[in-house]
């Protein structure tokens, strides 16, 4: 330390002392290692950086080189920024000394970004080094280019790389081929120049590495757009049969896996050689690649699949865990088309669920999930729950997660017995370390809304979860509890003992819940309370209304009677008074809470409870109770079911006349200045409409005046509001038989009239299609929304993925190949095809050339008068276009 | 293609970091940290594959191998064969062993440039260009020879450090 910093006193240029006593990279590394990680080390690094900043300005290349070396090291392994030193790295690449050049290139390839500003300064140096006589200099330039290549580099250096493709030195040739991939991806037009020579390199049997590099490039290209490479199939076939190099064979197999999907006749031809390879090869990597190729792309060939599965079995039984893991993966690939292969190895798979290796367990789990069908879902779930109980928390959650996704797939397609499934969800919540609260919460509520028949069971499961005080101690399942509370509130009419639920909702440990869930608890309490009061005040009505509410709800007569009986016994005056006392005493402390939501809801409940308490204890005639009226109204309001809402509902809203969505809302401020628009959401809307009658459109005006006319009861207002929403979400002019029709969110009439029937028919159809089974118990109706809901989303996603994958290369390659394809039979088409390519590629590279001729011209100009390169490039284009196709191979 | 090659020690300290597709520095460090997090939680004698989809996109894999105190890590996509990449790592380690005779972590720490040279002879632009370790050694020796080219200026400081270094 003393040497460097002491000697370099001169503030300006570095002195002789600096270069004499410059710290080398070794010294720097030693220094870093001497300092303990943390503050000491980082202060040492920043001190060294100061030195480097000074040294790097040195006119002496050696000093500079060492400084850049140190900086590169710090950048690569300690994350130090070196973008400021980019110019110095470029400077070093032009040094006559190999060491400096190498240092410069290493720094460039490790630190340069497409955005680095001095990037273009490197172009000439790269060109110079690419044509150097020293193969290692060429190699440096290629390595650097392969990492930092930009469209500009690729465009300017294509001719140089083109020259290297026929280099007599394999050392150069293999590297330039590997580098080509990056050049193609940055500058698709390079394909037109270099493609022919790349193909020629497929025939270079003299050097295995060159061939491997070439096949590797084709493998990468084909993975993006395989169709363009079909004409090269004969070449690949020759390699597949002749080559003895495993690396090459693996890549060729990968190419065929892609090609065979496009051309069935090809599959017929290559499946034999692949099987031979699989039989005779000793290399596990090659065998596995054969297996993978067969099971993904040749799964129609029974004998090949059988052979592949036998190899998979060998892998599965191997003691090497890597092979076992890959075996499971192979099995997973077979599963979609040949489930028998999985069933054959069922034991190994199930046993692997408890393997020490997490990877293997995960693969096994995926395999088990692939076996699940509606026949065995109960059985498999039982096994899996068993494994979830004894596995480590992470894997246990993994199991639960896959069960949840598999079972809920396609709107619970594989679930026949929903009662069972709901109790399974309850069971999952009780598994220690369960982290899937959110998903279980979602599914509980989702099923509640979609499947009417399961609601009694759902309430039972919810109750069991709610009354267990131990569950409140686990924050990760609070979400499930919140779902249970919601279900208990919403479907309280199915509860055997509502008082029990009130007690559960009020138990002291609920203070462990977060405010938002606590608020939900209290709101559910409100629902249960109003139900209980209703049952108490209108004892005959309660059982009656239940039947009216659920006309299509079928439960056995005896059960219904029994419940009615218990209900009338349950709601005595005494029990009701006790309940009210419990509610009031438990909730009163919460009026002090700071959370607005909880506070608000507590006030609501207390208001109702206190009123009822007072009136019931006064022992006046029940019919005079104010509570009676309120409770009836509330109960009416709450008795309507909430339906699921389609994700695409919003899109289908027809824009009302007179509403201009794209209107500038700038002058809204002046209007709003006079009106006090309530900030809160949802129900305040009604009030909002009433206040600024003058400003809304005539249509709404009509409605609101209508509303203000019938303001008499809250229920009618509420139903109006709902009706309005119904109208709003669902334009009534949708044809009745439109398949996109879906049940409205809050419109019970509409739903009952046609949609439910529609849906019943739909689900029945899907059931009939799937299975003419002899299920002992009919599958309940599952309310599905429009089919498009989910699929549109996934489809859009894959499309955009395709776009990404195909990239720029595809257009040009596709055009090039297809034109060469046509070239053989129809020469006249050639020109059109060519200009097409020109167009597409020009669009891609955003150049403004008018036609193909000019397009060709451009590459000449760019090559800067290097005649040789130009001529060759031109030749390349022509030959590439006439590249012969051997279609009879395919026939 | 191969997306990255990383060597780190069992403390999570990177010893060699080479990304073949552009990743900003912060992302690189984050990736290294997350990889270490995954690897150090894995028991010994388990399989060597890890899914890397979350950091490198779909269908990417990570293969690692432990040699003494070091993790050798290769990240690649579905254009490569898992077992072949394991072989490749074997070639890489063999080459290191030949170049440093009985390679240990210190060799890799103090030969930052040379390790990069070796790697560049094996993988270029994410493509494997050489699988024969003796050919790699030959090329690396040629390069070392060029670096010590008598024509290049030998600084006093360099020779001083040379005495201290060993």
pLDDT digits (tens, 9 = 90+) for A438-451: 999 999 999 998 88
Residue A331 belongs to a domain: no
Cβ of A79 within 8 Å of Cβ of B132? The answer is: no
Cβ of B124 within 8 Å of Cβ of A19? The answer is: no
Cβ of B49 within 8 Å of Cβ of A325? The answer is: yes
Say yes or no to pLDDT of B63 above 90: yes
Residue A116 belongs to a domain: no
Directed axis angle between helix A539-549 and helix A557-570, to 10°? 150
Report the distance separating Cα B64 and Cα A342, nearest Å.
Answer: 28
User: Region B12-21: what's the mean pLDDT?
Assistant: 93
Nearest chain B CA: its distance from A82 CA (Å): 10
Q: How many other CB atoms are found less than 10 A from the CB of residue A301?
A: 18
Report the distance separating Cα A839 and Cα A858, nearest Å.
Answer: 14
Q: For residues A61 and A68, is the Cβ–Cβ distance under 8 A?
A: no
Q: Over the stretch A3-59, which tens digit does the pLDDT of each residue have? A: 333 333 334 455 565 566 788 999 999 999 999 888 999 999 999 999 999 999 988
Q: For residues A235 and A199, is the Cβ–Cβ distance under 8 A?
A: yes
Q: B156 to chain A: which residues are within 8 Å by CB?
A: 20
Q: Give first-to-last CA distance, chain A, whole Å.
A: 76
Residue A776 belongs to a domain: no
Say yes or no to pLDDT of A765 above 70: no
Least confident residue range of A169-183, A595-609, B149-163? B149-163
Report the distance separating Cα A808 and Cα A362, nearest Å.
Answer: 36
Cβ of A76 within 8 Å of Cβ of B46? The answer is: no
More confident site: B129 or A788: B129
Sign of the C-alpha dihedral, residues A847, A850, A853, A858?
negative
Q: For residues A501 and A492, is the Cβ–Cβ distance under 8 A?
A: yes
Q: For residues A304 and A297, is the Cβ–Cβ distance under 8 A?
A: no
What's the mean per-residue pLDDT of chain A? Answer: 75
- Which residue in A806, A809, A832 sits closest to A819, CA to CA? A832
Provide the 3-class DSSP secondary structure of residue B69: coil
Contacts with A, B 1-60, CB within 8 Å: 1, 13-15, 17-18, 20, 22, 24-26, 28-29, 42-43, 45-51
A509 lies in the same domain as A637: yes
Q: Which helix (H) or strand (E) holds A96?
A: none
Q: Which of residues A273, A298, A323 is at a domain's end? A: A298
A627 lies in the same domain as A512: yes
Report the distance separating Cα A144 and Cα A138, nearest Å.
Answer: 10
Q: Which domain holds residue A413?
A: 375-490
User: B71 — phi, psi (to 5°)?
Assistant: -100, 130
The strand pairing partners of B5, in sequence order, are B18, B74
CB of B127 within 8 Å of a chain A CB? The answer is yes
Report the distance separating Cα A85 and Cα A94, nearest Å.
Answer: 15
Q: For residues A208 and A173, is the Cβ–Cβ distance under 8 A?
A: no
Closest CB to A20 among B142, B148, B156: B156
Q: Please state, in angstroms and as integers, the Cα–Cα distance from residue A291 to each residue in A168, A334, A498, A532, A626, following that order.
A: 37, 10, 60, 65, 78
- Which residue in A98, A33, A190, A363 sits closest to A877, CA to CA? A190
Q: pLDDT value at position A307?
A: 94
User: Region A571-600: what's the mean pLDDT?
Assistant: 89
Q: Are strands B61-67 and B49-51 parallel, antiparallel or unpaired?
A: antiparallel
Cα A752 to the chain's mean position, in Å?
A: 37
CB of B84 within 8 Å of a chain A CB? The answer is yes
Please, which residues have CB within 8 angstroms of residue A639's CB and are 6 or more apart in sequence? A545, A549
Domain B2-148 bears CATH identifier 3.60.150.10: no
* Cα nearest neighbour of A100 on chain B: B147
Q: Which of residues A706, A737, A770 is at a domain's end? A: A770
Coarse DSSP helix, strand, coil percentages of chain A, rounded to the nearest 5 percent: 75, 0, 25
Q: pLDDT value at position A375?
A: 87
* Cα nearest neighbour of B51 on chain A: A359
Contacts with A, B 86-105, CB within 8 Å: 86-87
Q: pLDDT value at position A638?
A: 81
Residue A721 belongs to a domain: yes
Report the distance separating Cα A632 and Cα A430, nearest Å.
Answer: 38
pLDDT cut 90: percent of chain A above it? 39
- Give the gyration radius of chain A's Cα atoms: 38
User: B128 — phi, psi (to 5°)?
Assistant: -75, 125
Quote the ipTM score. Answer: 0.90
User: Region B12-35: what's the mean pLDDT?
Assistant: 91
Q: Please state, in angstroms and as integers, the Cα–Cα distance from residue B150 to each residue in A81, A561, A751, B161, following that order.
A: 33, 105, 91, 18
More confident site: A422 or B55: A422
A486 lies in the same domain as A501: no
Residue A691 belongs to a domain: yes
User: Region A200-207: what's the mean pLDDT?
Assistant: 80
Based on the structure, what is the number of domains in chain A?
A: 5
Q: Please state, in angstroms and as integers, the Cα–Cα distance from residue A740 to each residue in A408, A649, A747, A748, A783, following that order.
A: 22, 10, 17, 18, 14
Count of residues making up chain B: 166
Mutation for A interface: B5, B17, B81, most A CBs within 10 A: B81
Closest CB to B124 among A72, A98, A179: A179
Report the distance separating Cα A292 and Cα A843, nearest Å.
Answer: 38
Report the distance separating Cα A282 and Cα A276, nearest Å.
Answer: 12
Say yes or no to pLDDT of A856 above 70: no
Q: pLDDT value at position A878?
A: 39
- Give the gyration radius of chain B's Cα atoms: 17
Q: For residues A416 and A451, is the Cβ–Cβ distance under 8 A?
A: no
Residue A315 belongs to a domain: no
Q: Over the stretch A615-644, which tens digit does the pLDDT of each residue have? A: 887 766 666 677 788 888 888 888 777 666
Cβ of B128 within 8 Å of Cβ of A114? The answer is: no
Cβ of A26 within 8 Å of Cβ of B142? The answer is: no
Q: pLDDT value at position A716?
A: 56
Q: Are strands B14-19 and B2-9 parallel, antiparallel or unpaired?
A: antiparallel
For residue A436, give the DSSP letter. Answer: -
Residue environment code for A101-135, b if the CB has 16+ CB neighbours within 10 A, otherwise e: bbbbbbbbbbbbeeebebbeebeebbbebbeeeeb
Least confident residue range of A353-357, A556-560, A784-788? A556-560
Q: Over the stretch A665-710, which tens digit does the pLDDT of each residue have? A: 766 666 666 655 544 443 333 333 333 434 434 444 444 444 444 4
User: Region A155-162: what's the mean pLDDT?
Assistant: 93
User: A558 — phi, psi (to 5°)?
Assistant: -60, -40
Report the distance separating Cα A583 and Cα A533, nearest Å.
Answer: 13
Report the distance separating Cα A100 and Cα A84, nearest Å.
Answer: 18
Q: pLDDT value at position A760?
A: 43
Say yes or no to pLDDT of A525 above 90: yes
Query: Which stretches of A738-787 are DSSP H helices?
Result: 748-750, 756-770
Provide the 3-class DSSP secondary structure of residue B1: coil
* Cα nearest neighbour of B28 on chain A: A79
Cβ of B120 within 8 Å of Cβ of A139? The answer is: yes
Residue A250 belongs to a domain: yes
User: Region A794-811: what's the mean pLDDT?
Assistant: 39
Q: Over the stretch A459-512, which tens digit does the pLDDT of each residue have? A: 999 999 999 988 898 888 899 999 999 999 999 989 888 999 999 999 988 889
pLDDT cut 70: percent of chain A above it? 68
The strand pairing partners of B67, in sequence order, are B70
**Token digits of residue A154:** 């690729």
**Token digits of residue B70:** 């070091």
CB of B138 within 8 Å of a chain A CB? The answer is no
Q: pLDDT value at position A701?
A: 44
For residue A124, give the DSSP letter. Answer: H
**Token digits of residue A807:** 């990239």
Q: How many other CB atoms are found less than 10 A from the CB of residue A800?
A: 10
More confident site: A653 or B99: B99
Q: pLDDT value at position B150?
A: 52
Q: Which of residues A298, A331, A352 is at a domain's end? A: A298
A753 lies in the same domain as A801: no
Provide the 3-class DSSP secondary structure of residue A322: helix
Query: Which stretches of A696-787 are DSSP H helices?
Result: 698-709, 714-729, 748-750, 756-770
């Amino acid at each position: 330390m003393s040497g460097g910093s002491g000697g370099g006193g001169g503030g300006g240029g570095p002195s002789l002392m600096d270069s004499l006593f410059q710290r080398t990279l070794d010294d720097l590394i030693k220094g870093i290692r001497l300092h303990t990680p943390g503050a000491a080390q980082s202060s040492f690094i920043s001190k060294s950086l100061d030195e480097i900043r000074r040294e790097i300005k040195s006119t002496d290349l050696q000093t500079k080189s060492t400084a850049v070396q140190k900086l590169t090291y710090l950048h690569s392994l300690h994350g130090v920024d070196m973008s400021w030193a980019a110019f110095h790295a470029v400077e070093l690449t032009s040094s006559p000394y190999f060491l400096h050049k190498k240092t410069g290139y290493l720094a460039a390839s490790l630190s340069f970004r497409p955005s680095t500003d001095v990037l273009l300064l490197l172009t000439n140096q790269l060109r110079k080094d690419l044509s150097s006589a020293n193969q290692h200099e060429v190699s440096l330039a290629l390595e650097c280019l392969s990492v930092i290549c930009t469209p500009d580099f690729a465009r300017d250096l294509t001719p140089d790389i083109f020259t290297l493709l026929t280099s007599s030195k394999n050392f150069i040739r293999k590297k330039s081929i590997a580098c080509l991939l990056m050049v193609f991806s940055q500058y698709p037009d390079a394909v037109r120049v270099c493609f022919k020579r790349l193909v020629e390199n497929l025939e270079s049997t003299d050097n295995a590495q060159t061939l491997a590099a070439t096949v590797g490039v084709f493998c990468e290209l084909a993975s993006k757009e395989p169709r363009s490479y079909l004409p090269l199939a004969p070449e690949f076939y020759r390699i597949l049969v002749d080559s003895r190099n495993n690396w090459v064979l693996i890549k060729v197999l990968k190419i065929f896996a892609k090609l065979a999907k496009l051309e069935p006749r090809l599959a017929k031809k290559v499946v034999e050689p692949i099987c031979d390879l699989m039989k005779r090869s000793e290399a596990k990597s090659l065998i596995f690649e054969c297996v993978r190729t067969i099971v993904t792309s040749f799964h129609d060939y029974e004998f090949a699949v059988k052979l592949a599965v036998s190899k998979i079995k060998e892998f599965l039984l191997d003691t090497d865990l890597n092979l076992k893991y890959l075996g499971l993966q192979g099995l997973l690939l077979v599963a979609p088309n040949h489930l028998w292969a999985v069933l054959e190895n069922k034991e190994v798979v199930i046993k692997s669920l408890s393997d020490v290796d997490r990877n293997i367990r995960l693969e096994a789990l995926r395999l088990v999930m692939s076996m699940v069908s509606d026949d065995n879902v109960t059985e498999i779930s039982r096994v899996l729950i068993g494994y979830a109980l004894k596995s480590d928390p992470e894997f246990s959650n993994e199991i639960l997660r896959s069960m949840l996704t598999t079972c809920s797939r396609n709107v619970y397609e594989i679930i026949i017995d929903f009662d069972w499934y709901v109790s399974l969800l309850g069971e999952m919540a009780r598994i220690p370390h369960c982290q899937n609260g959110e998903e279980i919460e979602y599914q509980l509520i989702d099923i509640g809304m979609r499947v009417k028949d399961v609601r009694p069971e759902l309430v039972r499961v919810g109750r069991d979860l709610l009354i267990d005080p131990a569950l409140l101690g686990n924050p990760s399942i609070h979400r499930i509890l919140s779902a249970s509370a919601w279900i208990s509130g919403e479907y309280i009419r199915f509860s055997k003992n509502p008082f029990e639920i009130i007690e559960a909702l009020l138990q002291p440990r609920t203070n462990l819940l977060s405010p938002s869930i606590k608020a939900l608890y209290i709101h559910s309490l409100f629902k249960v309370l109003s139900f209980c009061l209703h049952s108490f005040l209108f004892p005959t009505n309660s059982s009656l209304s239940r039947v009216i509410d659920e006309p299509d709800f079928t439960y056995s007569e005896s059960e219904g009677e029994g419940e009615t009986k218990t209900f009338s016994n349950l709601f005595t005056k005494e029990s009701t008074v006790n309940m009210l006392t419990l509610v009031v005493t438990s909730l009163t402390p919460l009026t002090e809470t700071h959370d607005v939501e909880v506070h608000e809801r507590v006030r609501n409940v207390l208001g109702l409870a206190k009123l009822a308490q007072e009136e019931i204890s006064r022992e006046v005639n029940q019919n005079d109770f104010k509570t009676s009226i309120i409770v009836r109204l509330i109960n009416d309001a709450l008795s309507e079911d909430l339906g699921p809402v389609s994700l695409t509902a919003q899109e289908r809203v027809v824009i009302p006349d007179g509403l201009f969505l794209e209107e500038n809302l700038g002058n809204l401020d002046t209007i709003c200045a006079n009106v006090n628009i309530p900030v809160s959401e949802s129900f305040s809307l009604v009030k909002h409409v009433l206040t600024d009658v003058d400003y809304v459109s005539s249509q709404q005006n009509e409605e609101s005046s209508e509303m203000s006319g019938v303001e008499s009861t809250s229920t009618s207002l509420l139903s109006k509001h709902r009706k309005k929403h119904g109208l709003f979400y669902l334009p009534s002019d949708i044809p009745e038989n439109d398949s996109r029709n879906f049940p409205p969110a809050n419109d019970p009439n509409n739903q009952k009239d046609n949609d439910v029937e529609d849906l019943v028919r739909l689900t029945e159809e899907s059931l009939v299609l799937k299975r003419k089974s002899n299920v002992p118990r009919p599958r309940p109706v599952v309310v599905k929304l429009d089919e498009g809901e989910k699929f549109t989303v996934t489809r859009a996603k894959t499309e955009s993925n395709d776009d990404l994958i195909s990239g720029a290369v595809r257009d040009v390659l596709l055009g090039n190949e297809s034109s060469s394809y046509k070239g053989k039979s129809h020469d006249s088409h050639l020109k059109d095809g060519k200009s097409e390519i020109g167009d597409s590629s020009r669009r891609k590279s955003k150049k403004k050339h008018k036609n193909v001729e000019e397009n060709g011209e451009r590459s000449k100009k760019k090559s800067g008068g290097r005649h040789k390169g130009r001529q060759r490039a031109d030749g390349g284009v022509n030959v590439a276009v006439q590249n012969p196709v051997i279609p009879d191979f395919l026939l | 293609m191969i997306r990255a090659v990383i060597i780190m020690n069992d403390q999570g300290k990177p010893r060699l970091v080479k990304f073949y597709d552009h990743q900003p520095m912060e992302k690189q460090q984050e990736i290294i940290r997350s990889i270490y997090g995954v690897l150090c939680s894995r028991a010994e004698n388990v399989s060597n594959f890890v899914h890397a989809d979350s950091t490198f996109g779909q269908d990417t894999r990570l293969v690692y191998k432990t040699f003494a105190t070091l993790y050798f890590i290769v990240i690649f996509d579905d254009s490569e064969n898992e077992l072949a990449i394991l072989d490749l790592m074997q070639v890489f380690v063999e080459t290191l062993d030949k170049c440093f005779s009985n390679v240990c972590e210190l060799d890799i720490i103090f030969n930052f440039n040379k390790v990069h040279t070796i790697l560049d002879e094996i993988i270029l632009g994410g493509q494997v260009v050489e699988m024969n370790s003796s050919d790699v050694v030959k090329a690396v020796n040629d390069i070392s020879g060029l670096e010590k080219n008598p024509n290049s200026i030998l600084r006093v400081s360099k020779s001083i450090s040379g005495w201290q270094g060993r």
